[in-house]
């Protein structure tokens, strides 16, 4: 199983994100857009694990979540990885909060006990909206995103973390919920 942990997004925010995707789709060249039901806020990507190991991960994350109070979060603005002319990953930004960063760190600390290594790159929470095909000039897409730079997708309270099994298909990544772990309160 390819395991990741993410924050689920409420329907009203998903609709706002999907509306932005619908507006950007005609502008973008060769972009695989995330389907509305697959939108999520990834926190930790663990990777391949044996199915028998999932209960151990769930237990460790449950301990972390039991010590983390529910907290507010806000999605706003666009961003991308790559260059303005050749973006390869288009996303909605998350206002980084201390609690979200602490949750990320605490989950990775719990995963260290199983031998998993935290990535070296800085934690940069975001919601993937689409993946652009490599080598395709997509500057009209980044220009349109920049024009809406102050876009507000919505806010919600994070009350649980979801453990997903991620598979790659022709329509992109498909995340299947394996378990939901409530936060304190």
Report, as an integer, the average pLDDT of 116-130.
Answer: 94
3-state helix, strand, coil in the chain (%, to 5): 30, 40, 30
pLDDT at 171 over 90: no
Q: Which residue has the tokens 């972390």?
A: 64
**pLDDT the model gives residue 62:** 97
DSSP summary character for residue 51: G
User: Sorting pLDDT into bands at 50, 70 and 90, what band is 149?
Assistant: low
pLDDT band at 156 (very low <50, low <70, confident <90, very high): very high
Q: What is the mean pLDDT of residues 119-146?
A: 92
Going along the chain from its start, the domains and CATH numbers come out as: 2-182 (3.90.1140.10)
pTM value > 0.85: yes
Provide the pLDDT for residue 144: 92
């Amino acid at each position: 199983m390819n395991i990741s942990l993410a924050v689920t997004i409420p329907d009203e925010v998903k609709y706002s994100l999907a509306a932005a995707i619908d507006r950007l789709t005609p502008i973008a060249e060769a972009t695989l857009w995330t389907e509305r039901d697959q939108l999520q806020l990834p926190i930790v990507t663990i990777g391949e694990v044996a199915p028998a190991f999932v209960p151990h991960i769930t237990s460790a994350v449950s301990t972390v979540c039991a010590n983390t109070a529910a907290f507010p979060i806000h999605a706003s603005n666009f961003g991308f990885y790559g260059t303005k002319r050749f973006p390869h990953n288009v996303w909605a930004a998350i206002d980084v909060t201390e609690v979200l960063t602490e949750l990320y760190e605490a989950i990775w600390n719990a995963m260290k006990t199983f031998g998993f290594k935290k990535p070296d790159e800085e934690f940069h929470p975001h919601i993937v909206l689409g993946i652009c095909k490599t080598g395709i000039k997509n500057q009209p897409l980044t220009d349109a995103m920049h024009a809406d730079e102050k876009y507000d997708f919505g806010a919600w309270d994070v009350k649980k973390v979801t453990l997903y099994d991620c598979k790659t298909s022709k329509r992109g990544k498909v995340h299947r919920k394996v378990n939901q772990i409530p936060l304190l309160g």
